[in-house]
Amino acid sequence: MAVGSGNWPEMHPVKGFRLGTTAAGIKKQDRKDLVIMNWDSGASVAGVFTLNRFCAAPVHLARRRIHCSPEYFVINTGNANAGTGDQGMLDATEVCLALAEHANVQEDQVLPFSTGVIGEPLPVDKIVAGLPAAISYLSEDGWHRAGEGILTTDTRPKGASRQFAVDGKKYTVTGISKGSGMIKPNMATMLAFMATDVAVDQAVLQKLLSNAVNLSFNRITVDGDTSTNDCCMLVATGKAGNEPLTHSEGLLYQALKQAVEEVATALAQAIVRDGEGATKFLTIQVEQANSVADALEVAYTIAHSPLVKTAVFAFDPNWGRILAAVGRAEISELKIDKVAIWLNDVCIVEGGSVARSYTEAEGERVMNQEEILIRVQLGAGHITETLWTTDLSHEYVRINAEYRT
């Protein structure tokens, strides 16, 4: 059973941003699987996309159209429309065209997103037939239904919302995400959609989103697999009435930056907490590294070690597995006599070997907790980086073995 709360946080509507969700029967009848998002003209749209070179047809289209003044997103679950060749592009285009005709906008103002099984033809007829119902549900209060409508193997919806005030005026950032398996950075394997009512120039919004993604979605991993369909989108409707932000500076920009990073981090951590078969939430923090690259290399080597992950699942404080992972990380230099490692508040390694104060009982006490911090000091510099991951359980194997059945 996955750790963390399945309860929705308070989701503040974003002025000018509407969401509509329906059940189109893409894989299962009566399951919410089609979501439309819409906003008025004049908004700014930013996006970050997967670096997987087999990226899905909708990713190609969304990336190409993001500068075409988009006004609609259309998202389907149950089918990734990836590995589908030219037909996949034709299918994604047909869905966009159908929505554009319903909404009376240009086709390139519709951005498509898909998630689900790779390599199967997109059921265009079902999606197109579901569009009128999804449109009828469009509402600024549609976040909850949309959060449910974008799920695949997730066990719970994921949402986050922040409000803040600058010079007496209130602003909002709200978002939803999906993902629980095939999670690894280079965008992370997930879909995320965020919106704010702040007016922001597109270039400033893109920089803000890219930075937030690097601190959140690009700091999570469940299994080391980067998907073909990853996207994170941020829409700024401008309905708060502020003078548009045209530079990355000032009180409003800093407050918005903090809110977007907080929402993105909450959504990213929610993905890890819902990792397929996860029973533990792990924070890997590498300190005193010589560079960001070295810190992340050590952190990911630990996070991707099946032996470390299965030891955590089994409540086994097998510190040798963590030590071995640090030792094989491909970093510029490792002085083993400088290395220290903690499990929460328990020092397990110091001076490159088992800590004198360490006891197996203390290690087991930590391993029995649902949230564990693995903290590594390299003694080489002043850089600290943090990422989040899960354990590896029997349930993860079962879920992914049965994914297509």
Q: What is the set of active-site residues? A: 189
Q: Around 242, how many Cα atoms within 13 Å sit in the side-chain half-sphere?
A: 27
Copy the structure tokens of residue 334.
Answer: 């490792």
Q: Residue 42 in contact with residue 199, Cβ under 8 Å?
A: no
In 3D space, the residue among 375, 324, 304 whose CA is nearest the CA of residue 345 turns out to be 375
Strands 231-236 and 191-196: parallel
Taking phi over 0 as left and psi of -120 to 50 as alpha, with beta for the rest, 24 belongs to: alpha
In three-state secondary structure terms, 352 is coil
Copy the structure tokens of residue 36.
Answer: 């439309």
The string of DSSP codes covering 122-177 is --HHHHHHHHHHHHHT-BTT-HHHHHHHT-SS-SS-EEEEEEEEETTEEEEEEEEE
Q: Give dist(CA 374, CA 299) in Å, integer.
A: 9
Q: Give dist(CA 220, CA 187) in Å, integer.
A: 9
Please name the residue that has the structure tokens 């994914």: 403
